[in-house]
């Protein structure tokens, strides 16, 4: 296909804070994808761009449309085909291209798709400048004249180089014999995982894998892969126990997030994984900086302080965490939503590196995953992220602030509303990608108080709950 003629289009609702996400046929289609590709190239002055896609039924056609837009701007498209978002991030730097685009809707519903984009060096697009300029150009259609030279070329050796980089992050010499249950959710993770597993086997790593829902299938016969949803966790939990696995791993659709289950099938909340990975890196690099998001902080701050590191908070969202990682030189950054960022992995997030590092930590300490997080669960219980559909986000936030802020010892608005009290803390913020208000509550060792505080805030939000 070719891009639409350079005439204005209606406002493009698929542009979110730092990604493209939209309902197919309503907010996103092939013509819009083509315009976005062409605008991306023109705004960045790109000459070579990496392009990948997930396994959704619509992704191949949308990726072809993006490629058409890029080629209309004279771009050489380095085609990764089916891959994970992190493979696109890595390849953008590996091939020294001007940017990268991954066609993916991650964990969104079946009738959605989208794109994640970076510029040269795998750097995030600035929401206020880069994304705004790409949106404005895609909407206006005021493209420069078509350029000659656009073509699609295969990304030779991309996955092998990616596997080498991922495994370079892990000390395989301390891995002990373990069985790991892996649930790809019929997303894009399967083929990439197989490449990693084959290389681990070649190097003699004593790991045995039990695969679940492994083959990519854009119809998602076992449901949309979003392991963060409580209703999606029991299937993996049961499989871990049935396999007698030492721990379990589940990925979302484009596998830039991974979720872990202990040997009893218990889901391990993301903030405790952030704590574990902070321990891993501070043991390797004493005094290093660790970036974390503001939703749940006390466990991470305590672990980093005890290990002699420096904890620094960043706004939630991959564009902001990546920017903070680059600005501070932090070795690692983590979000409770299971995004984990690594300085030595092109300062981007990966869903494959975290489980490998946890396996390394288990091998080094000899402790099972449940024991590694047991004290964290007791000392800093947290609610997990609770989503509220409200009719007026600003009014709902204002009500909670009016009632609770006068009693708080600290008020912070870096990302939504954070209120800190002597023995408990909350963060309430609007989603960057969905029309939701998100609540997180944590306490200092008091699980009963946690329940009471969640009930209190839920009651306050009741007046603004959408029916």
Q: Tokens in use for 406? A: 């006068």
> Could you give phi then psi for residue 7, rounded to 5 degrees?
-120, 155
Distance separating alpha carbons of residues 312 and 289, to the nearest angstrom: 7
User: DSSP labels for 272-340?
Assistant: HHHHHHHHHHHHHSTT-EEEE-SSS-HHHHHHHHHTT-EEEE--SSHHHHHHHHHHHT-SEEE-TTSBE
Strand pairing partners for 115?
20, 103
Distance separating alpha carbons of residues 302 and 412, to the nearest angstrom: 19
Distance separating alpha carbons of residues 315 and 13, to the nearest angstrom: 23
Q: Tokens in use for 358? A: 């946890």
Backbone dihedral region of 448: left (phi > 0), alpha (psi from -120 to 50 degrees) or beta?
Answer: alpha
Q: Which residues contact 139 (CB under 8 A, 6 or more apart)?
A: 8, 9, 10, 11, 12
Distance separating alpha carbons of residues 120 and 100, to the nearest angstrom: 8
The residue among 437, 399, 401, 393 whose CA lies nearest residue 295 is 437
DSSP label of 256: S
| Angle (nearest 5°) at CA 270 between 107 and 363 | 115
Helix pair 353-365, 369-379: axis angle to 10 deg: 100
Hey, which bits of 149-238 come out as E strands?
151-154, 178-183, 207-212
DSSP label of 354: H
Distance separating alpha carbons of residues 220 and 115, to the nearest angstrom: 19
- Whether 387 and 436 have beta carbons less than 8 Å apart is answered as yes
Instruction: Tell me which H or E stretch contains 236.
Output: helix 233-243
Distance separating alpha carbons of residues 65 and 71, to the nearest angstrom: 10
Distance separating alpha carbons of residues 299 and 288, to the nearest angstrom: 17
Q: With H, G, I as helix, E, B as strand and everything else as coil, classify residue 2.
A: coil
Residue 467 annotated among the catalytic residues of the structure: no
Instruction: Tell me which H or E stretch contains 394.
Output: helix 393-404
Q: Which of 9, 58, 59, 106 is catalytic?
A: 106
- Whether 274 and 376 have beta carbons less than 8 Å apart is answered as no
* Active-site residue list: 106
């Amino acid at each position: 296909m070719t891009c639409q003629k350079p005439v204005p289009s209606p406002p493009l609702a698929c542009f979110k804070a730092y990604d493209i996400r939209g309902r197919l046929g309503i907010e996103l289609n092939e013509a819009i994808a083509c315009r976005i590709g062409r605008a991306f190239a023109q705004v960045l002055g790109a000459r070579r761009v990496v392009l990948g896609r997930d396994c959704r039924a619509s992704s191949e056609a949308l990726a072809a449309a993006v490629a058409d837009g890029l080629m209309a701007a004279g771009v050489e498209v380095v085609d990764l085909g089916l891959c994970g978002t992190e493979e696109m991030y890595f390849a953008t730097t590996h091939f020294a291209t001007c940017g990268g685009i991954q066609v993916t809707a991650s964990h969104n519903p079946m009738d959605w798709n989208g794109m994640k984009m970076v510029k040269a060096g795998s750097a995030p697009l600035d929401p206020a400048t880069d994304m705004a300029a790409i949106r404005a150009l895609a909407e206006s259609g005021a493209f420069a004249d078509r350029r000659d030279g656009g073509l699609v070329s295969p990304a030779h050796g991309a996955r092998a180089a990616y596997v080498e980089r991922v495994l370079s992050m892990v000390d395989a010499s301390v891995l002990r014999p373990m069985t790991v249950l892996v649930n790809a959710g019929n997303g894009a993770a399967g083929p990439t995982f197989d490449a990693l597993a084959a290389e681990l086997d070649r190097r003699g790593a004593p790991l045995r894998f039990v695969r679940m829902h492994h083959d990519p299938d854009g119809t998602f016969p076992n449901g949309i892969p979003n392991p963060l949803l409580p209703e999606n966790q029991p299937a993996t939990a049961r499989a871990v126990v049935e396999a007698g696995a030492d721990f379990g791993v589940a990925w979302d659709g484009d596998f830039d997030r991974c979720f872990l289950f202990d040997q009893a099938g218990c889901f391990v909340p993301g903030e405790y994984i952030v704590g574990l990975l902070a321990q891993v890196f501070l043991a390797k690099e004493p005094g290093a900086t660790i970036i974390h998001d503001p939703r749940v902080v006390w466990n991470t701050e305590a672990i980093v302080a005890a290990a002699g590191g420096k904890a620094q908070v960043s706004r939630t969202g991959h564009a902001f965490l990546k920017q903070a990682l680059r600005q501070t030189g932090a070795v690692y950054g983590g979000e409770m939503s299971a995004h984990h960022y690594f300085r030595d992995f092109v300062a981007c997030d990966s869903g494959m590196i975290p489980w490998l590092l946890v396996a390394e930590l288990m091998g080094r300490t000899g402790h099972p995953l449940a024991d590694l997080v047991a004290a964290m669960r007791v000392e800093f219980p947290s609610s997990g992220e609770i989503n509220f559909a409200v009719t007026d986000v600003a009014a709902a936030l204002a009500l909670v602030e009016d009632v609770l802020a006068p009693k708080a010892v600290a008020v912070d608005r870096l990302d939504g509303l954070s209120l800190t009290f002597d023995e408990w803390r909350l963060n309430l913020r609007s989603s960057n990608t969905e029309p939701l208000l998100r609540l997180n509550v944590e306490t200092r060792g008091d699980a009963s108080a946690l329940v009471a505080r969640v009930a209190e805030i839920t009651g306050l939000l009741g007046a603004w709950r959408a029916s």
